[in-house]
Chains A and B, each alone.
Chain A
Amino acid sequence: MEKSIIDFFYLICIVLFIIGLKRLSSPDTAKKGNIIAGIGMGLAILVALFQPLEGGANNYLWIVGGLILGGVIGYIAAIRVKMTAMPEMVSLFNGLGGACSMLIATVEFYNLEPGTAMMSTEVLTIIFALFVGSIAFTGSIVAWGKLDGFLRDSLVLPAPQILNLVLLLTVIGLSAYIMYLPEINYTLVWILLIVSMVYGVTFVTPIGGGDMPVVISLLNSFTGIAAAGAGLIYGNQVMIVGGIIVGAAGTILTVLMCNAMNRSLFNVVIGGFGAAGQSSGSDREQVAKEISLSDTAIQLKYSNKVMIVPGYGLAVAQAQHTCHDLEKALEAEGVDVRYAIHPVAGRMPGHMNVLLAEADVPYPKLLELEEANEQMPSTDMVLVIGANDVVNPAAKEDQGSPIYGMPILDVELAKTVIVLKRSMRPGYAGIENPLFFGDKTKMLFGDAKDSLSKLKAEVANA
């Protein structure tokens, strides 16, 4: 085929990638966007198979073998994986893409013509693809292991920040030295490869807990950048542009994720050290997971049954009307909404009933303690609004707890618990609430009234 036709087809692939990504960022068009990007990829692979190349024996058998092998494994892995294991799957896939860049860069070192000037853009590009690809590879594998659970979060490196700095400086120094030497030194190339892979491990190891999605997103952008680096080696536009777009999009996505958790990227990458240091002191890690408003809204909307557990915080925020508005918005979406009223919720018996009656919440929607607990297992989502001690499992589990023996609302029997709270401060009784660190629990920080009105708006609009 003509070179210009090839270039034109590559251009179409790039356009398909961009349209696909754009569609993926809106709920209504996301599914189509994914398919469009997939078509772009299929076309790109076809074009790559037929683009004219100088020299070489084409070796189509090897290519088709690799494509079939990878395609079958990828497809089976993708359809077999449980929905809950999605993040680690994505991380693993991502690592494999990085590994491919790494392999390409390694081979390209051996493809350098004898006598190639080492101080050249070409060599720099290969080193770049090698380094970034290696980090993306080993980093993603560590992230995968952590999410999957076969690597523990508690794995602590000695002085990780210094170790990382030393490794990074080693990589830069080695790269500079490789380029400074008149001829290629393969021993140094292999050392560079190994140090880069180790750096990927030490980069991700200190980060853990709720920060993992952010790290995966960051590694994802690394893979994109590595792909672009490999594209520069071959001067292949679709790899360069596709890779860079993913790199940039991944970086922005990483920042957005950090914003959603109210943290800075720097804090996530560096903050891991503090968390690792603390966890060595206590025997169990207490990390409360945060959730964003829009996530909460979507989850609420797609639930069949939602139980609201109001507490004193609802009263303080004067949020009963807003709460009723949210309930109506959810009912309009076909969600069954109930209120679970604990006898001592608020500061006086019946406090909540009064409050909610004031807001015109229909009386049959208010459930007493026993009835509410009976319905918990069939509840998709519990929304704890400003309640604390009445949902504290310590009352059942911890004999040393001052509230031990108090009947509580068994919110942990429901599928998900979202706690709306101003801060992590303990409740009226002044005791820690293990519920906040439970597996099913997510925290939505902020003023109850403010959060509820935003949730209502999200539910109504989304």
Chain B
Amino acid sequence: MDYILHFITSNIEMLYILVFAVFLGMEVISKVPTVLHTPLMSGANAISGVVVIGAIILIRSAEADSYIKLTVGMLGIALATVNVIGGFAVTDRMLHMFKKKKK
């Protein structure tokens, strides 16, 4: 119990951020037409590639000779970058198709 209380008091700012982010995420897309579900999902998916930042920090804080960490980190960056670049590009293509057909 003490542990939990301590956890809450020492992380209170973080908890605020988490709670607000949850509500914000729910609000920001609450009124989306069905036809946009797939592009929106794809766009959100690209944003979740933000984990690439973590991989960058991981590599930057590693020593220059810890090759395993560097290799794993680079793999992580590559995977997450595929997610980011691919995600945004695919979303763009989907939305493009969407507009063009109108005539």
Residues of A in contact with B (beta carbons under 8 Å apart): 17-18, 20-22, 24-27, 30-31, 33-35, 37-38, 40-41, 44-45, 48-49, 51, 53-60, 62-63, 65-67, 69-71, 73-75, 77-79, 81, 83, 86-87, 89-90, 93-94, 96-97, 99-101, 103-104, 106-108, 110-111, 119, 121, 213, 216-217, 220, 223-224, 226-228, 230-234, 236-253, 256-257, 260, 292-295, 298-299, 301-302, 334, 462
Interface size on B, residues (CB 8 A): 82
Name the residue among B14, B30, B38, B78 with the largest chain A CB count within 10 angstroms: B78
Asked if B38 contacts A246 (CB within 8 A), the reply is no
Asked if A256 contacts B32 (CB within 8 A), the reply is yes
Asked if A248 contacts B25 (CB within 8 A), the reply is yes
Out of A33, A40, A70, A293, name the residue touching B81 (CB < 8 Å): A70
Within the complex, the shortest CB–CB distance from A148 to chain B, in Å, comes to 15
A206 to B22, CA, bound (A): 29
Within the complex, the shortest CB–CB distance from B47 to chain A, in Å, comes to 5
Interface residue ranges of B58-74 to A (CB < 8 Å): 58-64, 69-70, 72-74
Q: Provided the pairs A22-B28, A237-B17, A245-B24 are in contact, do residues A34 and B79 lie with their beta carbons within 8 angstroms?
A: no
Asked if A41 contacts B51 (CB within 8 A), the reply is no
Asked if A62 contacts B59 (CB within 8 A), the reply is yes
Out of B30, B51, B96, name the residue touching A31 (CB < 8 Å): B96
A390 to B70, CA, bound (A): 65
A295 to B44, CA, bound (A): 20
Asked if B55 contacts A75 (CB within 8 A), the reply is no
Q: Chain A residues near B56 (CB, 8 Å)? A: 45, 48-49, 63
A107 to B56, CA, bound (A): 13
Majority SS at the chain A contact face: helix
Asked if B24 contacts A103 (CB within 8 A), the reply is no
Of the A-B pairs whose beta carbons lie under 8 Å apart in the complex, a sample of 11, sorted by A's number, is A21-B29, A21-B40, A59-B60, A73-B78, A75-B85, A77-B82, A93-B46, A104-B51, A108-B58, A213-B41, A249-B44
Asked if A103 contacts B53 (CB within 8 A), the reply is no
Within the complex, the shortest CB–CB distance from A54 to chain B, in Å, comes to 8
Q: Chain A residues near B74 (CB, 8 Å)? A: 62-63, 65-66, 69
Within the complex, the shortest CB–CB distance from B40 to chain A, in Å, comes to 5
Asked if B48 contacts A220 (CB within 8 A), the reply is yes
Nearest 6 A-B pairs (CB), nearest first? A70-B81, A248-B25, A66-B77, A74-B86, A78-B89, A74-B85
Q: Chain B residues near A33 (CB, 8 Å)? A: 43
A269 to B53, CA, bound (A): 32
Q: Chain A residues near B53 (CB, 8 Å)? A: 44-45, 48, 231, 236, 238-239
Q: Chain A residues near B37 (CB, 8 Å)? A: 213, 217, 253, 256-257, 260
Known interface pairs A41-B47, A87-B38; 12 further A-B residue pairs with C-beta atoms within 8 A, sorted by A's residue number: A34-B88, A44-B53, A62-B70, A100-B76, A230-B54, A231-B50, A239-B53, A248-B22, A249-B28, A253-B32, A253-B44, A301-B102
Asked if B93 contacts A83 (CB within 8 A), the reply is yes
Residue of B nearest to A99 (CB): B79
Q: Chain A residues near B61 (CB, 8 Å)? A: 53-56
Within the complex, the shortest CB–CB distance from A213 to chain B, in Å, comes to 7
